[in-house]
Amino acid sequence: MAGVELAGQWAELRRTMENMNLSDQDLLALNERVAAILEQSTQERFEEEKGPDGKSWPPLSEQTLVARARRRTRRKDGSSGFRTKRGNLSRRALRIIENAAILKDTGRLMRSITSKARPEGAAVGTNLVYAAIHQLGGKAGRGKRVEIPARPYLGVSSADEQDLLAMLQEFIEERIEK
């Protein structure tokens, strides 16, 4: 599972938490909260079609849009509903092209996002083989002839950092009150 490790400015917070002598059960509870925040944020990126840096994902290529419309307009009898008898794109094909969502053709990638928590840390990712090409970009397809742009969905945004800091502060305050 691909994941993100929080480092850098978090060092002081980590020392504070180490000094609190938290049990494995406490650390697991904390990391479950971290995982939940990051998993939710990752799911929201699919809806917003933006990476953790806030940049919009590159749009789908015309070839991808046409291929998607061809596949989705195929009839049960094997004939195509992609074009009308006059050779124009069918209304259904046009609707599919106009409403095409990035990285959500089948929804499989979005549904595969999961999180795991252990006392040692939390991870958010997917087990799908093709997920990395969408996260990082690169050449794909037969003969590696298709260039897929990076559309990062995993990562920690500045909003995530704020949510995590607020949650961590709340967690520490809960433990201090005990």
Over the stretch 92-150, which tens digit does the pLDDT of each residue have?
A: 899 999 999 999 999 999 999 999 999 999 999 999 999 999 999 999 988 999 999 99
Tell me, yes or no, whether 128 and 173 share the same domain: yes
Residue 1 lies in a domain: no
- Chain segment 31-72, per-residue pLDDT in tens: 999 999 999 999 999 999 999 999 999 999 999 999 999 998
Residue 15: pLDDT above 80?
Answer: no
CB 117 within 8 A of CB 31: yes
CB burial of residue 70 (10 Å; 0-12, 13-18, 19+):
middle
Task: Return the top range by mean pLDDT from 73-77, 86-90, 149-153.
Answer: 149-153
Tell me, yes or no, whether 150 and 173 share the same domain: yes
Tell me, yes or no, whether 91 and 164 share the same domain: no
User: Domain containing 15: what range?
Assistant: 11-56+114-177
How many domains does the chain divide into?
Answer: 2
